[in-house]
Amino acid sequence: MSSFILREQFDTWQILARERNQGHFFSKISWPRDEEFTVQVKRLHLLLTVKDSAANIPKNLEARRRLQFFANSLFMDMPLAKPVSEMIPFCVFTPYYSETVLFSKSELKVENEDGISTLFYLQKIYPDEWENFLERIKSTADAVEDDDSLELRFWASYRGQTLARTGLPDSKMDMRGMMYYRRALVLQSYLEKRYLGGIEDGYSVSDYISTQGYELSPEARAQADIKFTYVVSCQIYGQQKQKGAPEAADILLLMQRLVFLVNSFL
């Protein structure tokens, strides 16, 4: 009985294979010609055929967490935000006493009782970010570790030191921690100005909603400086400076990089 059923299935598959080879499959189906439907079909085909699933892109867990948080926030019932010019100014205050501001080269390489250095530990905790860092500075791991690279100290400090992660900028235009507040205000103020200018001139919104060069806009930067202030209270900076402590030099570097940062020396 079972062999008879298998024989029927084999004959059926033979017929299906012959029809497929002759191009008779789905020949009488009228496919929708709607452009939006075509886009959705292509997207479905991409999801089914791409090697890596969409759940694994990006690989960095922190990046995925932030994207997930942002995507979920799109479904929140949020009130309309007021323009930057109408918002209430606010200040962020970070107390600082004698904590390490930036890792020194020696601190990164010194090993504990288990033979593990701080740099080695961070490389293992953030392997993908370490690879991205090497690619960004166009260097190799051996070359970076042998060189007294300030960028290496910043990379490690962003992931292991509270003050650096809170306030220091990654570069002239890429800021970390609390300074993202200011960057967001600069961007929002810049877009609001372009939008209002476009409406008054009779242009469409799409012609004016562009973020290119927003960091260099003096009006947007001034508006952000009025609405946001970041204060770091360096309580024993004077004593650290007199002793020639490395923390004093690192705080000075922070002041040089964040020209809009307010330092309070108590």
pLDDT digits 0-9 by tens, 90-130: 888 888 888 888 888 888 888 888 889 888 899 888 888 88
Domain ranges of the chain: 179-224
pTM, whole model, 2 decimals?
0.60
Please tell me which residue, 5 or 189, carries the higher pLDDT value: 189
Measured in degrees and rounded to the nearest 5, phi and psi for residue 114 equal -95, 5
- Cα(30)–Cα(258) distance, rounded to whole angstroms? 63
CA distance 66 to 62: 6
pLDDT at 174: 37
Window from 6-20, 63-77, 236-250 with minimum mean pLDDT: 6-20
Task: Give the mean pLDDT of 122-139.
Answer: 87
